[in-house]
Amino acid sequence: MPNPFETLAHHKLAPVIALDDAAHAAPLAAALVAGGLPVAEVTFRTAAAEESIRTMAARGDLLVIAGTVLTAEQVDRAAHAGAVMVVSPGFSPKVVERCQKLGLPVCPGVATPTDLQAALDCGLGTMKFFPAEALGGVKTLKAISAPYASAVEGGVKFMPTGGVGPGNLLDYLALPSVVACGGSWMVAPKLYAGGDFAPVEAAVREAVTLAQSLD
């Protein structure tokens, strides 16, 4: 599997998934792959997260990221289940430390310059900007990142998440500091409420077309 950050930079999207039922993991993964987006950020917001990660990782053709990882114990469970990267809504030194100990790429959330510098102190160069829209969106991201352009080689990179959708995706992706955007719109439970995952595949395909339209 290539470096997860490179995969994210290629696809520009990280679908944020909260599964109540691990039985949905297989058809959801299939819809993502069929729609052209072999990336899944499965959040530890539900009890089904670990099993869902295991199911998706077993395919071998999908970048499986563990999301909403809040404790070192969840890092262990995510890694054991097959996640190849960890993200969090905020910056937790314990989560980052455990990931680094395991050699697992980690992308913590930052909302302030203080968070950002804490992540830099850990040697990290790519961070979530969360919750992106509620924090002021593109304007705030530009302002927060400006002082750190030369803090790491190539500049600090971000994965804005929270309130990103088809209406503002390209505004974020147009920023050179943005690697990819996280979002739940193309994997929202209402799309597969009837047990049919075709609407997910269609929404994923549309999101992929939009994200790639900047190239």
Ligand X SMILES: O=C[C@H](O)COP(=O)(O)O
Q: Which residues are catalytic?
A: 41, 128
Distance CA 28, CA 26 (A): 5
CB nearer to ligand CC(=O)C(=O)O: pick between 16 and 31: 16
For residue 184, the partner it binds in ligand CC(=O)C(=O)O, ligand X, none, with Cβ less than 5 to 8 A by kind, is ligand X
For residue 163, the partner it binds in ligand CC(=O)C(=O)O, ligand X, none, with Cβ less than 5 to 8 A by kind, is ligand X
Asked if 192 is part of the footprint of ligand CC(=O)C(=O)O (rule: CB under 6 A), the reply reads no
CB nearer to ligand CC(=O)C(=O)O: pick between 44 and 197: 44
Asked if 4 is part of the footprint of ligand CC(=O)C(=O)O (rule: CB under 6 A), the reply reads no
Token pair of 158 as six digits: 């971000």
Distance CA 10, CA 6 (A): 6
Q: From the CB of 143, what's the least distance to ligand X, in Å?
A: 21
Reduced to 3 states, what is the DSSP secondary structure of residue 80? helix
Asked if 77 is part of the footprint of ligand CC(=O)C(=O)O (rule: CB under 6 A), the reply reads no
CB-based burial label for 61 (10 Å; 0-12, 13-18, 19+) = exposed
Reduced to 3 states, what is the DSSP secondary structure of residue 111? coil
Taking CA atoms, 203 is separated from 1, 17, 62, 64, 184, in Å, by 26, 14, 18, 19, 11
Token pair of 114 as six digits: 């203080």
Distance CA 32, CA 104 (A): 23
Asked if 184 is part of the footprint of ligand CC(=O)C(=O)O (rule: CB under 6 A), the reply reads no
Binding mask 101-130 for ligand CC(=O)C(=O)O (x = CB under 6 A): --------x------------------x-x
Report CA Rg, the chain.
16
Q: Name which position in 141, 182, 192, 208 contacts ligand CC(=O)C(=O)O (CB under 6 A).
A: 182
**What residues make contact with ligand CC(=O)C(=O)O under the rule CB under 6 A?**
43, 67-68, 87-89, 109, 128, 130, 161, 182
